[in-house]
Amino acid sequence: MFFIGLTGNIGTGKSTVSKYLSKQNIPVIDSDQIARDVVKPYTKCWHAIREHFGEEAINVTDGQINRNYLAQIIFNNPDERRILNKITHPEIQKQTFIKTLYYWLTFHTFVVFDIPLLFEAKIYQPLMNYIIVVKCDESEQIRRIKARNGYNDEEASSRIGSQMSLNEKCKLANFVIDNNGTIEQTLHQVEEIFHQMKRPRTFYILRLLLITLYGLTLFSLIKLSKFIYSKL
């Protein structure tokens, strides 16, 4: 199974690529979604956040984590950010492992790890066979952030400036998707990248091994079921 890292900075359009891959039946493990799931009301992480950050960290209407409140606290406070990460990261890593194991057991050739902080976290980067970075011009980033989050220019620029340089990320990538154009142009680049990843001989060797493993597993299950049936 090939591990594909998908990353980019805020407002670059990484979600567009991620959603397209999912529609193509390529498994995508979305770290942001996992991060949301592990802090759902009354989970272990939810209780830990409430205990440390107080009742203000919980929305009184629905019991969900008050993300805006937490963001204001941790954005300029590295110590509080580390505490939040210490609460959530172990559970995020656990759920990521479970999902990865599931896709391995179901014989998928590719699994995409959608991780915004792939390079910054440094945990998953060494595990990736390929890394894809989605980029666009900073002016386009600012426009998208303002439209999506309701930020002004200063707030949008501040969010961009708090992240690792997009140019540095592109230097570390195996493939770069330029998302300044139309959606069609972006998706064409995605298709071309996956076409290139399927070219190496190792891809076909792995594919053959997966098919063989699948066949042996199926054969073993059939034999086992016949044995059990004969004993009834």
Structural domain includes residue 23: yes
Q: Closest Cα to residue 52, out of 34, 32, 72, 70?
A: 70
pLDDT, residue 164, reads: 93
pLDDT, residue 176, reads: 97
CATH number for the domain including 168?
3.40.50.300
Structural domain includes residue 54: no
Structural domain includes residue 159: yes
Which parts of the chain have pLDDT scores under 70?
200-232
Q: Closest Cα to residue 1, out of 95, 129, 120, 176?
A: 129
Number of separate domains in the chain: 1
What is the rounded CA–CA span in Å between residue 93 and residue 119?
16
Q: Closest Cα to residue 147, out of 10, 35, 29?
A: 10
Q: What share of the chain is helix, strand, coil (3-state, %, to 5)?
A: 65, 10, 25
Encoded tokens for 20? 């397209």
Boundaries of domain holding 23? 2-39+91-231
pLDDT, residue 219, reads: 62
Q: Closest Cα to residue 178, out of 198, 158, 164, 192?
A: 192
